Structure 1
């Protein structure tokens, strides 16, 4: 799945930020995907608000592929939002990643050498009820051969909405 560039709102970032932001919504056993505003790639609050505005009686999952460097999974819940970031080290360079760690109350380690490998953080069980157990998600995130968009495509395939995601990302 190729990455497409999106332009962030001028008040959040001066330059375009490649990637995609999609909401996957499951209702009555069927998935549909909708593109989210590109500002959600740079503003976690905007991403959470956009997901909460999607009305559904079933699961709602946000998928953010940020600059093809890392991805974020979000699931609104009555008590807040469940989050998972594929590489917490991205918080050194990306505000949205730093915001994820803030919400998770996680700090980066003082030794930057630790950050040479992907460091997933957050709720690795975020997709367990949708067909992807936490241990498999952890293995997928650690696969250095896959780009974040490919990891998200694999996640979508395991959960049953790969075709819908591909349609939205490539339209």
Structure 2
């Protein structure tokens, strides 16, 4: 198992991409921009999402460096996570932190391929079954922002996400 500490720390690096919270209350979706720190610090993302204190669903959508995405869904009993590319953990602290919370070993150095790690059923109750999410994650010709847009459309908040992302 590779140590997370052996890599260069990316937590102090501003990364391209976006971080958005999708919040469902009283049957309606709205989206809000999250702090840029949530792209590099999983704890910051979880803390900021929990602070929203919604009575409905809250999902964090993180497009990290236009390389991969992370879905974060806090619940009273913990947090559900999905990283679209487990191999990203070799280069990005936030992806390594996801694997750490999931208790999954880091991929071997030089590992090829792309595979998701985490809860593929993270959005099942919101209209996106695990098998469909797995297909979306596996669409290699799509960039992470396109994958997240497709996820948002399928769950019913595509327009709200586009409004936030297009305004950045």
- Report the equivalent of 2:80: 82
**How many angstroms apart in 1 are the aligned matches of 2:149 and 2:78?**
26
SS at match of 1:124: coil
Q: Indicate conservation of the 8 Å contact 2:59/2:71, yes or no.
A: yes
TM-score (norm 2): 0.90
2:138 to 142, 145, 152: 142
Tell me by how many angstroms 1:117 deviates.
Answer: 2.1
TM-score (norm 1): 0.89
- Report the equivalent of 1:126: 122
2:154 to 154, 158, 168: 158
SS at match of 2:16: strand
Tell me by how many angstroms 1:112 deviates.
Answer: 3.3
Q: Indicate conservation of the 8 Å contact 2:25/2:57, yes or no.
A: yes
**How many angstroms apart in 2 are the aligned matches of 1:169 and 1:111?**
33
SS at match of 1:112: coil
**Gaps (5+ residues) in structure 1?**
1-10
**How many angstroms apart in 2 are the aligned matches of 1:45 and 1:98?**
12
Over residues 44-76 of structure 1, what are the superposed CA-to-partner deviations in whole Å (9 max), with x where a residue is unaligned? Answer: 000000000002111000000000100000110
2:165 to 154, 161, 169: 169
Tell me by how many angstroms 1:170 deviates.
Answer: 1.2
Q: How many residues align?
A: 158
Root mean square deviation, CA, Å: 1.4
Over residues 69-94 of structure 1, what are the superposed CA-to-partner deviations in whole Å (9 max), with x where a residue is unaligned? Answer: 00000110111100000001000000
- Report the equivalent of 1:50: 48
Tell me by how many angstroms 1:111 deviates.
Answer: 6.6
**How many angstroms apart in 2 are the aligned matches of 1:141 and 1:117?**
13
Q: Indicate conservation of the 8 Å contact 1:118/1:141, yes or no.
A: no
List structure 1 runs of 4+ shifted beyond 4 angstroms: none
